[in-house]
């Protein structure tokens, strides 16, 4: 990683302008994994100091600034109360405190990292993003778009819902990237299932969700069937952490555990 110049933006407008006018400019967010990127950044845009590191609340939503660290997200009390605290739990499972004090939620979201533990939980609770020019957009929509944002992500919105949620991640060691992870919720709209670290980016288990949502009172058999459907419909790949077959079996187990937990 090489950085030619550094800009501490004085405003989001300035950051946006520099980003749009320079093809080799990039917003560096927390910068925790900058070193691992095999490219040269012409201008590294820093959003630090613009007040985007705050977490606030309205009556219906929790509003997280893009520069809030994973440690802030993990510790924020109101987030621990949503969906059995799965967002806090997923944030706390990422590396150690020394990294979570650097890495930001904005960097995680904008990077669409396949290895992210946080993204599946944000997707499963149907988080929304706010971009400086584009305005608000659902995270699910952003994840489906090709490439990365050419706008400045400023805030992440989480609806306040006290309902059941489950998150689990499988790692070789606590400081490794996950082999697979999964988030499951039961909300007033129904069940939602997201599988991440496949090792591709996180995605909804659509067919499995359709099946379980169509069941009136899902029991053990229906849960097992939904888990099989999820394992069959998701695409898995291999890397140094695990094979596609291994991930498929873990997915089956995770969906079964997740649904069992939120239904109980």
50 forms part of the interface with another protein (CB under 8 A): no
Query: Quick count: other Cβ atoms within 10 Å of Cβ 73?
Result: 27
Q: CB of 103: closest distance to another protein in angstroms?
A: 9
Token pair for 225: 């069937």
Omega of the bond leading into 199 within 30 degrees of 0 (cis): yes
When binding is defined by CB under 8 A, the residue of 6, 54, 172, 245 that contacts another protein is 6
DSSP alpha helices (H): ranges in 172-243? 206-214, 220-233
* 94 backbone dihedrals φ, ψ, rounded to 5°: -90, 115
From 5-13, 121-129, 217-225, 232-240, give the range in contact with another protein by CB under 8 A: 5-13
Q: CB of 151: closest distance to another protein in angstroms?
A: 22
Q: CB of 109: closest distance to another protein in angstroms?
A: 19
Token pair for 150: 């050419």
37 forms part of the interface with another protein (CB under 8 A): no
73 forms part of the interface with another protein (CB under 8 A): no
12 forms part of the interface with another protein (CB under 8 A): no
22 forms part of the interface with another protein (CB under 8 A): no
Query: Quick count: other Cβ atoms within 10 Å of Cβ 164?
Result: 17
Helix H or strand E segment including 92: helix 86-92
Coil/strand/helix, residue 148 = coil
**Do 222 and 210 contact (CB within 8 A), yes or no?**
no
* Range 87-106, binding another protein (CB under 8 A): 92, 95-99, 101-102
205 forms part of the interface with another protein (CB under 8 A): no
**Do 205 and 180 contact (CB within 8 A), yes or no?**
no
Tell me whether residue 4 or residue 145 sits nearer to another protein (CB atom): 4
2 forms part of the interface with another protein (CB under 8 A): yes
**Do 158 and 62 contact (CB within 8 A), yes or no?**
yes
**Do 34 and 26 contact (CB within 8 A), yes or no?**
no
Q: CB of 59: closest distance to another protein in angstroms?
A: 30
Tell me whether residue 69 or residue 82 sits nearer to another protein (CB atom): 69
Query: Quick count: other Cβ atoms within 10 Å of Cβ 63?
Result: 17
Q: CB of 55: closest distance to another protein in angstroms?
A: 16
Tell me whether residue 46 or residue 233 sits nearer to another protein (CB atom): 46
Site of interaction with another protein (CB under 8 A): 1-6, 8, 28, 31-36, 44, 46, 48, 71, 92, 95-99, 101-102, 174-175
């Amino acid at each position: 990683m090489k950085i030619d110049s550094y800009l501490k933006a004085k405003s989001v407008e300035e950051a946006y302008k520099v980003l749009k006018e320079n093809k080799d400019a990039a917003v560096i967010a927390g910068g925790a994994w900058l070193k691992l990127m095999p490219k040269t950044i012409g201008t590294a845009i820093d959003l630090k100091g613009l007040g985007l590191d705050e977490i606030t609340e309205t009556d219906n939503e929790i509003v997280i600034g893009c520069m809030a660290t994973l440690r802030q997200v993990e510790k924020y009390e109101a987030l621990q109360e949503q969906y059995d605290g799965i967002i806090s739990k997923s944030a706390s499972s990422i590396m150690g405190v020394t990294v979570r004090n650097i890495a930001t939620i904005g960097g995680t979201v904008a990077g669409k990292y396949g290895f992210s533990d946080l993204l599946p939980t944000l997707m499963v609770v149907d988080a929304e993003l706010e971009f400086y020019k584009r305005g608000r957009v659902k995270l699910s929509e952003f994840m489906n778009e090709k490439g990365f944002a050419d706008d400045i992500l400023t805030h992440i919105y989480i609806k306040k819902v006290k309902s059941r949620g489950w998150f689990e991640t499988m790692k070789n060691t606590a400081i490794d990237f996950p082999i697979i992870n999964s988030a499951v919720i039961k909300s007033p709209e129904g069940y939602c299932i997201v599988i991440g670290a496949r090792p591709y980016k996180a995605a909804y288990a659509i067919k499995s969700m359709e099946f379980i949502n169509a069941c009136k009172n899902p029991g053990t058999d229906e849960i097992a069937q939904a888990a099989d459907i999820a394992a069959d419909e998701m695409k898995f790949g291999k890397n140094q952490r695990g094979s596609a077959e291994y991930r498929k079996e873990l997915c089956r187990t995770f969906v079964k555990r997740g649904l069992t937990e939120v239904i109980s």
